[in-house]
Structure 1
């Protein structure tokens, strides 16, 4: 599994652990000659550091350069421990341990404050997206109210850990293929690079994909794209939620994924994808399917969530207490219900039961 700080080509300023270590380094090792020495021991070229900078700027530059050559692991696991044995403080040591032991966001059950209790198959697939294997595309299908759209939080968290940009497109944010194309080029900071529509359909879609690949390569930016609402509404008339041409464009996008020069820059999550066979020319090694159900979340998932919630909210649960609380939540959700309660989707009832349980346990709060 990819390390959320070491296995990316940019320094993880978005991770609290990385930011905290940076502050500790600035406070504990402020002398530029020593910074340069540690940077060189980790594998950096001392001549690449800008001379005459303040410690804060020198450390920022050193960390960014080491991330670029994938040498942060060596700095944190080999170089800094030796320094800490001589002059390290407890806060400095704790900051270093937090970076080395950082949990991938894809494994977290609270992502940006949002509970994501289960989705084990999705987490496994998204982890594969972060690797160098051929998988590039996820299809998410299934019944309504099963958490299909909710899975985008796992996808977006993994994108952040990979140092990539994430885009989420859905109805009515985008209504046409032109809207989708504009959003993708905008995410890459290249709105002026959209190809002219000198042709229609698949030919233009192919031109767009090739240009997107060129722009991503030029900007050294990986783009993770989640497109929602690709299927039909469940009611009242079952009409497509998005223009079917958007699904056709996504299909052309998938056709380009086996090309390493293109596929290295993109990941695609197609949510509420229409049922039935996928296009026959899609290569099987670049895509997989996730199909959540309403019954996926069980007692162990609730326990895991409560444990993580307690860590984030300075509330320590003993294991027996966790098991009892989780059992109570599941019993309320899956036990006898009134007709009014039964009309509420299971995941919503689960969320409401968790909120009530945490409020009763702590006197406030909740997911």
Structure 2
């Protein structure tokens, strides 16, 4: 089977960065955009109640440079999901996504996240209500099952329900979630990965967009899945070793451009950092997302130390980033960048 290369409206998410709480905020996304022009970027999950009643600019505001960008919602009331989706669309997002994968106790108590794997028809009702409310793609991100569910049955039931309701895509984290007995952190590692289950799902839905999430570490490992599946979603690897994103546009989107080096990314990001500093944003809030950029390269430890120790000092600015960059820059920066 070859990938269907199905399109969302306006973007083709062959590669995306997963929504990750405390990590994929607007400053993280702006930095990741310097590494890839095409990757689909996700917000942290935000609840429907927060979107409807909270400080929307603080919660879901973003910079134009972040496109294409998706907002992930947590909720299970179809009316509220539709209202929140309409607000999200009004902010200019390219996609709205339903969280059916988070296993935390707080999420379960709100009746959303992974526990919704047990209520596929409710998820479908949310999809349908959201599709009626907005013109942007509505997608779902789920697990292969929870607790004692049979993944063969649970995942098929979820896919059947949401695709019939009009979901534009299904992103599947290829692990079960254990709602009892494992912490959210343990649920990211302990349940075994089952990529074959996602591949079997795609065989039943050849004309639907199905993307893979969970345990993807390198493009060499992940790219072969695009022979069958439609998209790859990287989580912690994209955050901790973001330099891998510098190859995404060329390798996965066929862009006729040079790969973006870590040095190129930092230089390109300086304008954003300067702009945000001028708006009163603390340097450390932004540079914390850049710590892993030079992972495995000479000077990476110095890069992390300088940004960690000095970016938190009052009144500091771009000189800290310049100092950190000097600790990892080759003697001839232009030659290294060209290579």
Q: Same fold (TM over 0.5)?
A: no
Name the TM tier (shorter chain). Answer: 0.3 to 0.5
Which has the larger share of strand? Answer: 2
The alignment's TM-score, normalised by the length of structure 1, stands at 0.34
Structure possessing the higher radius of gyration over alpha carbons: 1
Which has the larger share of helix? Answer: 1
